[in-house]
Amino acid sequence: MFKNKFLPISKIIYNTIKQNTTKEEKILEVGCSSAHISLVLKQKGFNIKGIEIRKEIVDKTNKFLNKKNIQFEIITGNVLNHNEKYDMLWSSGLIQCLNNNQKDFFFEHFIKLANKAIFFVPKRINYLPPTKEDYDIAVTGCEEFPTGDIPFILSKYYNKVKYKIIPKNKIKMDIDFIVYICKN
């Protein structure tokens, strides 16, 4: 199931999360999909679980985890209805699917869950209509919005926002990614 999943971007995400947390911290991956990165972090001793709204993806992932006898918790549900507290949230490939109003809803809720968050987002200059990409790699059926105002929106909710461009040639993709590290 994870064949070809650990792309160059996955390695960068993995290292970034490792550098910004400790094994004592409680972490939630939001919109975890197959959770291939969080799984590796879990196996390395990090206290991490995922939440995913798409039941079919959760079922597929759990089937795989059971087959491999791997312990990893994935909550099926909408993070907006989830109220457990964490030390850190992280998410990849979710934020760009939210319009600005939705982003406000999400971040307003995220800061109640954790004081620290890391978001990995493809740099979208223009609006992208819903994609028919592979379900496990991109967010199928979701439109994607320009990401140029994300730092400003994040700064409404977090006292400190640091962001950095991950160039496309470094991750062998067609698009730059941006990592946002946010703290209160």
Q: To the nearest whole angstrom, how small is the minimum distance from the Cβ of residue 142 to other proteins? A: 20
Residues numbered 154-183 forming contacts with other proteins, rule: CB under 8 A = 154-155, 159-165, 181
Closest separation in Å from C-beta 44 to other proteins: 24
Q: Could you tell me how many residues of this chain bind other proteins (CB under 8 A)?
A: 15
Between 65 and 179, CB nearer to other proteins: 179
Instruction: Enumerate residues 107-146 that contact other proteins by CB under 8 A.
Output: 146
Which of 151, 168, 173, 175: binder of other proteins (CB under 8 A)? Answer: 151
What HEC string does the chain produce? CCCCCCCHHHHHHHHHHHHCCCCCCEEEEECCCCCHHHHHHHHCCCEEEEEECCHHHHHHHHHHHHHCCCCCCEEECCHHHCCCCCCEEEEECCHHHCCHHHHHHHHHHHHHHCCEEEEEEECCCCCECCCCCCCCCCCCCCCECCCCCHHHHHHCCCCEEEEEEECHHHHCCCCCEEEEEEEC
The nearer residue to other proteins, 92 or 147, going by C-beta atoms, is: 147
Closest contact distance (angstroms) between CB of 100 and other proteins is: 10
Q: What residues numbered 53-82 form the site for other proteins, per CB under 8 A?
A: none
Which chain residues interact with other proteins by CB under 8 A?
146, 148-149, 151-152, 154-155, 159-165, 181
